[in-house]
Amino acid sequence: MIGNKIGKYKIIELLGSGGNANVYKAKDIEGNLFAVKVLKVGKYPAFNKKYKRFKDEVQVVKSNQTAISGIVPIIECFLPPDPFKNTPWYSMPIATPLAHIINDDSSMYDIMECMEQLSSTLMQLHENGIVHRDIKPNNLYYYNDKWAFGDFGLVEYPQKTDLTAKGESVGPKYTIAPEMKRDAKNSDGKAADIYSLAKTLWILLTGEKAGFEGQYSDGIEKFNISNYRGKGFFVSLHELIEKCTSNIPSERLDIIEFNKVIKEWFEISQDFKRKNLLEWNYIFRKILPHTSPEVIVWTSPDDIVHLLDLISKIDSLNHVFVPGGGGLDLTKCTLSNELSYIELHFDYSIKKLMPEKLHLITFADAPEWNYFYLETKELHPTGLYGNQERYYEPVLELSPGVYVEPYHKYYGEVDGQPIPKDAREILLSLKGSFAFFAKGSTYNTISATYDGRHNNMTSNAFHDHIKEMIRHQQWTNENPDKARRIRQEKKERERAQREIERKEYERLKKDLKSKWEEIVSSVKMPTPPQQTIPGEVYFTIEMNDQYFENVYYVSHDNKLIIDSTGNLERVLHGRIDAKELLKIYDFNECEDYINMLNDLLFNFDGSDKIANRLYFDVDMHRVKKPAVHFTKDELTELLINANDKIYNRVVIQTDGNLRLITEEMDHVQPHGFVYKGWEFSAFENSLGKKSNLHHIDDIYFDLLSGWCFHLECNRRASRLSNEYYMGLSEEQLLEKIRIASEQYSK
Annotated binding-site members for ATP: 37
The CA–CA distances, whole Å, from 86 to 6, 34, 81 equal 10, 20, 9
Question: How crowded is the C-beta side of 326, counted as CA atoms within 13 Å?
Answer: 4
Question: How crowded is the C-beta side of 128, counted as CA atoms within 13 Å?
Answer: 19
Give the chain's radius of gyration (CA, Å).
40
Do the Cβ atoms of 95 and 70 come closer than 8 Å?
no
**Annotated binding-site positions:** 37
End-to-end Cα spacing for the chain: 99
Backbone angle region of 609, left / alpha / beta, with phi > 0 → left and psi within -120 to 50 → alpha: alpha
Do the Cβ atoms of 95 and 141 come closer than 8 Å?
yes
Q: Which H helix or E strand runs over 16?
A: strand 9-17
- The span from the CA of 338 to the CA of 393, in Å, is 17
Report the helix count and the strand count for the chain, using DSSP H and E. Answer: 18, 30
- Residue 126: φ, ψ to 5°: -65, -35
Length of the chain measured in residues: 746
Angle at 534 between CA 531 and CA 538, to 5 degrees: 95
- The span from the CA of 130 to the CA of 112, in Å, is 23
**Around Cβ 176, how many Cβ atoms within 10 Å?**
22
Do the Cβ atoms of 552 and 633 come closer than 8 Å?
no
Q: Which of 616, 457, 619, 612 is nearest to 547 (CA)?
A: 612
Question: How crowded is the C-beta side of 516, counted as CA atoms within 13 Å?
Answer: 21
Sequence-ordered list of residues with C-beta below 8 angstroms from that of 569, at least 6 positions apart, any chain: none
- Provide the residue type at 103 as one letter: N
Sequence-ordered list of residues with C-beta below 8 angstroms from that of 180, at least 6 positions apart, any chain: 133, 169, 170, 171, 187, 192
